[in-house]
Amino acid sequence: MKEITESLRREAARLLNEGVELFIGYAAGTRPACARPFFVTKPEEVTGLVFDPFCVPNLVKYILRHADKKVAVVVKGCDRAAVDRLVAERHLDRARITLVGVPCGGMLARERVLAELGPNPRIEAVEDRGPSFVLRVRGEERTFEKRKFLMEKCLGCTRNNPAGVDVMVGKEAPPVADPEYDPLKEIRAIEALPAAERAAFWEKVFGRCLRCYACREVCPACSCTECTFEQAVPGWQQGATWISKAKSLPDNYHYHLIRAFHVAGRCAGCAECERVCPVGIPLMLLNRKLAADIASLFGETEEDPCGALCVYSLADPDEFE
Amino acid sequence: MVLKLLKKERLLSFLERLMQKFLLVAPVREGNLTVYRPVKAAAEVAVDAPKSVVPPKEWFFPQTEEIYRYATSKENLVLEENVLAPPAVLFGVRPCDLRSFQVLDAVFLQEPADRYYAARRENTLLIGMSCNTACPECFCTAYGISPLKGTGADIHLTDIGTAYLVEALTPKGEEIVLQDPEFYEEKVAGIDEALRAKEQALTAEFAVQVAVTDLPAKMAALFNHPYWEELSRRCLGCGICTYVCPTCHCFDITDENRGNTGKRLRCWDACLFRDYTLHTSGHNPRHALHQRLRNRFFHKLKYNLDRYGIEGCVGCGRCVALCPVNIDIREVIATVRGLQV
Amino acid sequence: MKVANPLLPQPATIIDIIQETGDVKTFRVVLDDPDAMAAWRHRPGQTAMVSVFGVGEAMFCLASSPTSRDWIEFSIRRAGKVTTAIHQLEPGAKIGVRGPYGNSFPVEAMRGNDLLVIGGGIGLAPLRPLVNFMIAPENRKDYGNIEIIYGARSYGDLCYKEEVFRTWPETPGVTVWTTIDAPEEGWEGHVGFVPAYVAEIKPAPENKFVAICGPPVMIKFTLKELEKLGFKEEQIYTTLEMRMKCGIGKCGRCNIGAKFVCRDGPVFNLAALKELPPEY
């Protein structure tokens, strides 16, 4: 991954010299197999930039915080889609952003890799060898077959070379999608359960939600400046809010289902919500199910950045009932 | 102090004996998570479970608790206090979390004492459990905590292979241990040396050795340093670090109303949330994320020490392990100590 | 062992409501338990939590005189959800009260000194008990002259008109200056902002304490005038507002540095306040 990192640093330095005020990329984290968002404002700081299969965070949402600046941001293929949505919804001015695309060989599932390497390995180098990543740990090469060690979101990924970016670094990556991967397998299994068991499943996972709102804060589709769950209901209900602060099953359900519907058709599939959840709620089950339903009801919406649920057409043959 | 050995195969009977008199709250596994909750059978207890995501403070200070009910009418107002504090044993508490109870005690037991916390604290027997493994994010020793010492517990257990070393550290704990002499064997020689070696091996697993010397003074001088703004650039402003922190104690009070009756609830709150300090007027003393993030670190590393004489961090590493954007308190400590005033 | 529950309010009844201004009402409240009412004591500057059940709880300063034994008063501006709900209540309504909380103006240290009170709008509420405490017959001899400079946007926005225009000016040793921001029909008094009026009146700084409360911008510019007049930060006291939930230093949100406004405040002298981070 050395070449991508190096060309990333070169491009970042060039962009910063050419008037970009903020370059958002990744730096190595303090924990093994962990990269973190990194904000560069001076060309001499680009040496901190890295790219490897642990650069999981989607950086797109950070652009929203710097509406007044010329920003360049590193995007993987899955992050890229979020930009189109935000531009289409006029949260972002595309002309102000420089998208720096990175060819992505897939992201490694950190826990699974650490389970192999032990809790605190020193990863000295990473090499993408197509069907596998090779990690050098204490001088020793360890091979991680992608089919087994990629994050689930990568197994069905068909866009690992981001399209429509302003700068592309490195060479095009070979496809990562696993042809045998079925994104709906787990969903179908849950759908096949009797209603009571299905309810028990969701009660169990939603029951443990801490309502830390990390899934919302990280989500590029959660772009509202004021979240509906923080909005006071107007006077006639004496300032009640839409959701109680209480951690209770009904409130947890309410939060997650409303959020799922708010991002339906707009979810870019980056799976950040699921990654950040401290209690392991499988939120992508909801997002993938909604995406599949929208696709079957309205056809594929890949080309329409606004998503099926955001489109209004006078020619719509269906009555609004 | 009473020192005994409890053979591992007897732990179950030990727990069952406790369950005759107490509600047993212990670590259990739920999927990949460890959670502390009341158990119905001693066999549910996950003795060697990894550290819980949500710390056991939850037992004394639940995320959501009903503090009282009210019923209003034109002429009348009835308030019904709801203090639930069954006699309980909180089992399997790690040394860092044991320290966290001292931190929380300073807040909740200071006059006027919090009745809910105080009642549960008083009615709960604390049984600590030494660590068998260290997480790479652990740094309890920075605060003088040993992963093998049960300071703060009534009874403390340490795995020494085929048995647990049982230390009864308070009169309450001694009573429990002395009531069932048949469970235990006498301590044998050589254990202390073995424990010292184990402690060294465990702390060697810590990925980072953290020192906190002079930190509060350094922090005070660096309140306005651009570092906090820089750090907050990647902060999501979510509540993970506060909700998994064993010493965070902030809460909100809200009503849940049904006609003329309802419940008043106390719920955890997080200083990273935008509306946490928002005034009705719209003014927000900590309107910017870097102010909120800075306040959290100051609270943990300075304010708590200033106010209560005890650090607000116990080095459990939960926030380090769970922050989605790698804001790492160990790094913050090292950076602040290294910054030029 | 049964300890008192500091989070549990005392049932109370609103016995009278005085419309002070367009959006400020003073609620006169009696605790339902006569023993609790008889035992109620507060000091000038202290606060209490008021509950409207089903809506919530909010912290208000105690506006009644500490010498009042029959009732307590809160002056409340309609602003958010709790205050809106309180404004909809009528005499006889049941509310909850817990407190008093926090520190107070240093009435012991103030003994033998003069007092300068500067208030803006509803900001007079926490200062009113201080004045009424000092002019109470049993305390009057302990304190010197009292100067009160009070302003509001308009005549209609001046609170406690009975006291401001009658009781206080008629009390020996008390002088009251009032001002409104813009001229209006029927107003023959001073027109202008409080800071400018302070500069005009030129109160002397010797042997004097200052208690100031009002909109932040008024405080900011008045402090500059006071500085010019030779007042020291140690002489000047103000009272802070913060969002609060518990009132007893546990819920966390009213901290300024290591201080909790609910316990260590709400009254701070300026010198102490300058030692704290500017997060209020």
Shared domain for A1 and A82, answered yes or no, is yes
Q: Looking at the partner chain, which of A29, A30, A212 has a beta carbon nearest the beta carbon of B239?
A: A212
**Residues A242/A308, Cβ–Cβ less than 8 Å:** no
**Residues B96/B246, Cβ–Cβ less than 8 Å:** yes
What's the whole-number mean pLDDT along residues A38-56?
Answer: 97
Q: What is the pLDDT along chain C (280 residues), one digit of tens a residue?
A: 455 899 999 999 999 999 999 999 999 999 999 999 999 999 999 999 999 998 899 999 999 999 999 999 999 999 888 999 999 999 999 999 999 999 999 999 999 999 999 999 999 999 999 999 999 999 999 999 999 999 999 999 999 999 999 999 999 999 999 999 999 999 999 999 999 999 999 999 999 999 999 998 999 999 999 999 999 999 999 999 899 999 999 999 999 999 999 999 999 999 999 999 999 8
Half-sphere exposure of C135 (CA within 13 A, CB side): 22
CB–CB of C255 and B72 under 8 A? no
Shared domain for A279 and A233, answered yes or no, is yes
**Confidence class for position A238, pLDDT limits 50, 70, 90:** very low
Q: Is residue A86 part of a domain?
A: yes
B115-143 pLDDT tens trace: 999 999 999 999 999 999 999 999 999 99
| End position of a domain, from candidates A106, A138, A168 | A168
Give the structural domain span for A241: 184-298
**Residues C96/C11, Cβ–Cβ less than 8 Å:** yes
Whole-number pLDDT of residue C80: 85
Please say if the pLDDT value at position B47 is more than 90. Answer: yes
Residue C280 contacts B, CB cutoff 8 Å: yes
For residue C215, give both structure tokens: 């909109």
Please say if the pLDDT value at position B151 is more than 50. Answer: yes
Residue C255 contacts B, CB cutoff 8 Å: yes
**Confidence class for position B171, pLDDT limits 50, 70, 90:** very high
CB–CB of C4 and B115 under 8 A? yes
What's the whole-number mean pLDDT along residues B282-306?
Answer: 96
**Residues B275/B302, Cβ–Cβ less than 8 Å:** no
The residue of chain A nearest to residue C85, with distances taken between CA atoms, is A238
> B314 vs A68, which has greater pLDDT?
B314
**Confidence class for position A236, pLDDT limits 50, 70, 90:** very low
The residue of chain B nearest to residue C11, with distances taken between CA atoms, is B77
Whole-number pLDDT of residue C2: 53
Residue B23 contacts C, CB cutoff 8 Å: no
Shared domain for A204 and A245, answered yes or no, is yes
Shared domain for A231 and A142, answered yes or no, is no
Whole-number pLDDT of residue A306: 63
| Backbone φ, ψ for residue A143 (5° rounding) | -95, 130
Whole-number pLDDT of residue A268: 87
CB–CB of B249 and C53 under 8 A? no
Shared domain for A150 and A188, answered yes or no, is no
Contacts of C36 (CB under 8 A, 6+ apart): C10
Shared domain for A159 and A189, answered yes or no, is no
Q: Which of A219-228, A278-287, A312-321, B121-130 has the lowest mean pLDDT?
A: A312-321
Please say if the pLDDT value at position A237 is more than 60. Answer: no
Question: Taking CB atoms and an 8 Å cutoff, what residues of chain C touch B247?
Answer: none
**Confidence class for position A235, pLDDT limits 50, 70, 90:** very low
Please say if the pLDDT value at position B155 is more than 90. Answer: yes
Whole-number pLDDT of residue B82: 87
Q: Which of A219-228, B147-156, B299-308, C149-158 has the lowest mean pLDDT?
A: A219-228
Cβ atoms within 10 Å of C186's Cβ, excluding its own: 5
Shared domain for A1 and A132, answered yes or no, is yes
Residue A17 contacts C, CB cutoff 8 Å: no
Please say if the pLDDT value at position A320 is more than 80. Answer: no
Question: Taking CB atoms and an 8 Å cutoff, what residues of chain B touch C246?
Answer: 251, 253
C61 is in an annotated binding site: no
> B102 vs A2, which has greater pLDDT?
B102
- The DSSP 8-state label assigned to residue A174 in this structure reads P
| End position of a domain, from candidates A103, A137, A168 | A168
A84-97 pLDDT tens trace: 889 988 899 999 99
Touching subunits of B (3+ CB pairs, under 8 Å) are A, C
B57-82 pLDDT tens trace: 999 999 999 999 999 887 889 999 98
CB–CB of B67 and C8 under 8 A? yes
Whole-number pLDDT of residue C3: 58
Distances (CA, A) of A1 to A7, A126, A206, C74: 10, 6, 38, 67
**Confidence class for position B1, pLDDT limits 50, 70, 90:** confident
> Which DSSP helix (H) or strand (E) runs through C151?
strand C146-152
The residue of chain C nearest to residue B216, with distances taken between CA atoms, is C258
What CA–CA distance (Å, rounded) separates C49 from C248? 10
Please say if the pLDDT value at position A80 is more than 70. Answer: yes
Tell me the sheet residues that pair with B158.
B165
Q: Is residue A303 part of a domain?
A: no
What CA–CA distance (Å, rounded) separates A269 from A79? 8
Number of domains observed in the structure of chain A: 2
Whole-number pLDDT of residue B89: 98
Residue A232 contacts C, CB cutoff 8 Å: yes
Whole-number pLDDT of residue C267: 97
C251 is in an annotated binding site: yes
Q: Is residue A255 part of a domain?
A: yes
| Mutation for A interface: B33, B257, B325, most A CBs within 10 A | B325
**Which residues 32-51 on chain C approach chain B with CB closer than 8 angstroms?**
32
| Mutation for C interface: B65, B79, B293, most C CBs within 10 A | B79
Whole-number pLDDT of residue A240: 54
Please say if the pLDDT value at position A307 is more than 80. Answer: no
CB–CB of C55 and A232 under 8 A? no
What CA–CA distance (Å, rounded) separates B107 from C262? 14
Shared domain for A225 and A122, answered yes or no, is no
- The DSSP 8-state label assigned to residue A232 in this structure reads B
State how far residue B153 is from chain A, nearest Cα, in angstroms.
27
Q: Note the CATH number of domain C107-239.
A: 3.40.50.80
The residue of chain A nearest to residue B32, with distances taken between CA atoms, is A280
| Mutation for A interface: C53, C57, C78, C81, most A CBs within 10 A | C81
Shared domain for A221 and A72, answered yes or no, is no
State how far residue A243 is from chain C, nearest Cα, in angstroms.
14
Q: C10-101 with C107-239: one CATH topology?
A: no
State how far residue C57 is from chain A, nearest Cα, in angstroms.
12
CB–CB of B251 and C246 under 8 A? yes
What's the whole-number mean pLDDT along residues B137-156?
Answer: 96
**Confidence class for position A233, pLDDT limits 50, 70, 90:** low
Q: Is B62 exposed, middle or buried (0-12, 13-18, 19+ CB in 10 A)?
A: middle
C254 is in an annotated binding site: yes
Domain residue ranges of chain C, discontinuous segments joined by +: 10-101, 107-239
Residue C80 contacts A, CB cutoff 8 Å: yes
> C2 vs A265, which has greater pLDDT?
A265
Question: Taking CB atoms and an 8 Å cutoff, what residues of chain B touch C80?
Answer: 280
Mean pLDDT, all residues of chain A: 90
Shared domain for A76 and A24, answered yes or no, is yes
> Which DSSP helix (H) or strand (E) runs through C107?
helix C107-110
Distances (CA, A) of A121 to A110, A142, B209, B321: 12, 12, 16, 15
C159 is in an annotated binding site: no
Shared domain for A57 and A121, answered yes or no, is yes
Whole-number pLDDT of residue B189: 82
Shared domain for A108 and A203, answered yes or no, is no
Please say if the pLDDT value at position A155 is more than 90. Answer: yes
Whole-number pLDDT of residue A242: 76
With CA atoms as reference, report the closest residue to A169 among A315, A23, A51. A51
Q: Note the CATH number of domain C10-101.
A: 2.40.30.10
The residue of chain A nearest to residue C81, with distances taken between CA atoms, is A239
Whole-number pLDDT of residue A230: 79
CB–CB of A217 and B326 under 8 A? no
Please say if the pLDDT value at position A301 is more than 60. Answer: no
CB–CB of A238 and C80 under 8 A? no
